Structure 1
Amino acid sequence: MTFVHPFLLLLLCLPLAWLVWSWRSSHRHLAFVLKALSFAVILFALAEPTINLPETKTGAIVLVDTSASITREDLARAASLVTQMERNKHGNWMKVVPFASQSRNLLPQEVSNGLHLIQTANEAGNGTNFEAALISSMSAIPSGHIPRLVLISDGNENEGSTARAIAELERLHIPVDTIPLAGRPNTGLHLESVSMPRQAYAGERIPIDLTIDSPQSTHASIEIFAEGKDLGTNSIELAAGTNTVRVHARVNSSGATSLSGRIAAGSLGELPFEQAIELRRAKILYLSQDPPGTESNLIQALGEADFDLTRDASLIEKDLAGIQLIVLNNLDLNAFSAGDKDRIEEYVKQGGGLLLIGGERQVYKEDRQMDALDRALPAKLAPPKTPQGTCVALIIDKSSSMEGRKIELARLSAVGVVDHLRPVDSIGVLIFDNSYQWAVPMRRAEDKSLIKRLISGITPDGGTQIAPALAEAYRKVLPSKASYKHIVLLTDGISEEGDSIDLAREALQHQVTISTVGLGQDVNRSYLEKVASTSGGRSYFLNEPQGLEQILLKDVQDYSGSTAVEKPLTPIVESKAEILDGVGMEQAPALKGYTRF
């Protein structure tokens, strides 16, 4: 017995003293005794006595194993057992505690419509720790109840120490009842480990590495799920012993996501796995000087790949920590300040991505010293070096029919070609009528002023004999060591073919290309087309000479160095690479052009 106010018990001496004093002066002894007892009882009650009587009710913790080794059938059986206990507890206290690596509370979906136990999600479900479950659950039993633990499990412990837990329970005199579950059949198929990144980007291919022990060689399949949604199935072949398998999953959502899977190996059974992964959308800093609307396809592709896109160039100076990729599309890189280039270089050093898309605004300048942006890029934006240069021969018809505007534009066209040649390149201008002669003998394009003066001296006269002139030009071009060898034939008349077609075939075998340009209506169109196509060149036909200069210059550029070629091109995958997995290059449309070097 205990008292809330024990100091009041000291006042019990007052009614006793009063009784002794009144006993002598009066004969009503019984009345005085009753009064004294009444005062004593009142004081005793004011002291608030408390009596603890022994409790005979049981406080039971029902521990239910919900780890990955428990089958759906076992979970249903465990739920049924717990429901029966609940119905028959008869005033005793009971609590259900699911556990795997650690104990947990029942989830709302487990108790919404009756008890429906589910497996513990993520990595916590891969372990079974009896020690943690038994020891941590004892504190939940209310005081005054007789403690008792009930363990429902398949017994496949892989964490903690049951021996330590038993020793502690024996010391506290707490009994444990066990109810076995069937568990999964032991076929020898085991999942030793599951490894996947803790964080990834939405839309990224997430690698999942599995270590599987198999008792025999067998075919198996791996199904992958994200929050219960089927992401596909991978077929694998397991060898007897330890197998290391990598599969991939792609999830387009963001936030915390449960990525789970199931390994099915026929008669060997199934192995589940699950892990939580944090998905976020990658952020791109996109800077471009392309005209509005021309980049819509690229922007759409980035959006469909779940990238967040920003165009705020000030982020380079402020903070690039939240940016995963910088895209520089057709920018004049020399417009960046030295400080901006340093910040981009440091960003790349810290693991940031940098994508450079070429364009006409990126002008190459020969700099001996690399700046910060040059160091950040894996390659320098420079045209390929061709020490041998290119060799170009212009064959110009100077017959009398070329007099006037035609020969004037022919001279201007030849001068335009000379202006675009490098000093390392070679140029020769062969003029012909009934015979031929070199107006500009084959030479390096170093003294361009002299070459232009020689071209300006070309005057029309005579007839038209193409074949001898073509043979002479080919004879001079063939021994050249240049990287590119190209001949352009310009005529406005008709001539005998001679052996021109055989010469064109030989030129093709020796990587010498021949293009032909026909001016006016009086040309042998089929002859000029055949010479060009046979040698791998092109043929052009103009009724008026006004477009001659542009055509001649573009043709020489196309066949004598790096240039943009605007024609459909279908790429072919020569060998498989991981970067192309899932791209679908077989169904990709043709490219609209390419740069040829």
Structure 2
Amino acid sequence: MSITLTNPYYLILLLLIPLTWFYLFKIKDQTRFRKSILIFFRTLLILLMVLVLTDPKFTKNSDAVNLFYLVDISKSIQNLENDRIKSFIDKTSSHMDEEDKAGLIYFGGNPSLEVALKQEFDAEVMQSEVNSNHTNINSAIQFAIGKLPAQGKNKLVLMSDGNQNIDDVHNSLQLAKSLGVQISSVPVSAWIGDKEIYIDWIETPKNIQLNMPFEVRIVVQSRQKTKSNLVLLRNGDYISAKEVDLKPGKNIFLIVEQVKEQGLYVYKAIINTDQNNDMVYQNNEGISFTQATQKNSVLFVTNEQKEKIPMITALTTQGIKVVTKPPNELPFSMQGYLDYGAIILNDIAARELSYNTMEDIEKYVRDTAGGLVMIGGPNSFGAGGYLKTPIEKALPVFMDIPTTLEFPGLCIVMVIDKSASMAGSISGQTKLEAAKLALFSSIELLNPKDKVGILAFDWEQDWIIPITTADDRVAMAEKLSVLSGGGGTDIYKALVKAHSALKKIPSAKKHIILLSDGMTKEGKFKSLVDKVVKDKISISTVALGQGSDIQLMKKIAKWGEGRDYYTDDIENIPRIFVGETRIVAKEIIIEKTTRPFVSAKNDIIQSLPVHKIPKVDGYIITYPKNSAETILETIHGPLLVSHQYGLGRSVAFTSDLSGRWSKNWVNWDYFAQFVSQMVKWTIRKESPHYYTVDIGRKGDKGFFKVDIIDELNQFSNHLKPKLKVLLPNKNNQTISLEQIAPGRYFGNFPASEVGEYYFNLFGDKSEHLIQYKTFGYSIPYSDEYLLIEPNETLLSELAEKTGGAVLDINTPPEDLFISDSQQKEYGASLWPYLLLAAIAVLIIEITIRKLQTLNRI
């Protein structure tokens, strides 16, 4: 045991002692005895205060070792190595002395403390969660150094393949050296198998011309001689597949391609091999983007034949290329919409679009500057069930309407099939459960003063909720919860019972919604429905699944002056019931002749004779958003509304343009000009600039570099371009690009995720700045799956420069916890005690001097 001064340089202050002596000896009014006492106490006080400043501590020599195991658990490490890693840790830690401490840190793209430093070390079952798609050795070492104590010999044991792909470990190497932290390396085998095959990269031209052949270059790496199947996809569609012969090393394949339509294309190459030969499947595909440019076309979504749609003919005569598709043929990802400048939804119901499709269209408008036009009809807007959907977000109108438009005195009876077939399960949910949800969702939409009844039927009929006011929602939910299925199907008797009850109710409007999933017994339906209609009761029907009597349900709805629905997806049942209830409960559809009036000037109606705007015979009531501009209006609400949504634009025309409600518009001399201007207003704008783009990444940081040249072939300088990045996780970020050279702009984006990235380059509204342009980039698989051998050079460098060693995982050393030099272990500081002593000396000295003064008096 010894004492060490932490701040010995304060000892120079001891020179104050002789100076104090010199000063005190010069005092003449003191006796020699009193001077001696004063000098003694003043010298002791200075000595104690100097020692306080030097911070003395008890120290002893120690052989204690503090050691962290840093274990790489990224995806590049074989699972087979886990047992060997644990065995190495167990065997080396078994040689710890009582003073030694060990801890465990797992790392990949980030470090995580699994076991803190402690003397009773045990590598327990792993609980840490790290990003295994990357390897960041630098952050793991810095994290461990921050957890090491000041006392004892500090060591790190790095167990990794050494293949870092984020950051650089050399950044922490100097820190470890300066702090005396010793790093030993244990090379761990990567996942690479002797028969591994993977796609190194796929290359396509960045820009291509339509109908011109070009090459798709695919590079496949193989560690064996074998046969495999090479598949090529374009925008998710199958293009070709062929058997290829692979030799060890690099294999290059060229496939000739050409495209006929403009747009951004995603090419994906897949190499299919025998699973027994190829250990990892994640690296068996590659992705490349290419851009085919031409004048923008529009996607027209409709269920009608295009020859029968006047709007398509009008757009074509105005020079707009139109591509028509039914809802079930829409792209499976947002990328598929980038081929088009705008999307037109022509009287399409929400139930015909999946929720993912609606999300893709909303992002297409918001993030890629695409256009969206919704044309009205009985299946559009609120009548089509778009309330609270992503499509509603993108449109300039709300699907809900003011409560002042609610229909007074409504009575609605829901007639629900509860036969045995309704107990059938689809995707983990029975049809009857979906129907219950639909019923309650519909009841919630009703005014508490409205009346509602629920009649369930099989062979028999049962009033689950007899006709009553829709105010006690809790009681209704309880009654619905006990509804169960069984028996056959008899629609006729159910309608008879519903009719009998409804005709006695004195409501201004009465309606029946009939749902069934099966065939029914025969009955005189036509005469029955005629009686129902005569009593001023309407009927709508919902046929569920292929087993339902679809034709009969359509006839009942037609005879009953209602609407017929069909779906084979139980998730659509709540949407249908909510949409139908809203149509009945509120006057959403207005079918009477109305002349709209102009409420705002807009480019859409520029140069049109606004005093000759045709009448409409029907439209859907909507409610304009605050950010929207209502261009044409009726007494009940907007007819033509537009607004900017994110980077894109959208338009709502609440009447149809097929002739049912708009025969005056279709026959108008300015019809073609009107629809052309409406669609062109939304279309993604063409840019007058030319671009050379370089997109890449380093580690988890991507870069976007673009050279912008104007139409005069001059660099475009002093722009303020922005980049909206749509990440694989569907989130987006907006990045400002900085000019770094004439005409060249640069920015970084996060690139830690595997998948496809989409970039929309845009500027402000100045005519001198760029307009919207979309690009793509992909990370097909994690860098951890690249065919790379362990980086033994880096692991050796870390050990050599910090005084460590390269260790063999199969031969755990016994001396890992033996310190090569004794370390000082510091005990408690002594300065607090010395400070107390100094204060005591000061008090004694002051007391003596006071006593001396009193004695003189």
TM-score normalised according to structure 1 size: 0.36
Return the structure number with greater relative CO, CA threshold 8 A, min gap 6: 2
TM-score normalised according to structure 2 size: 0.27
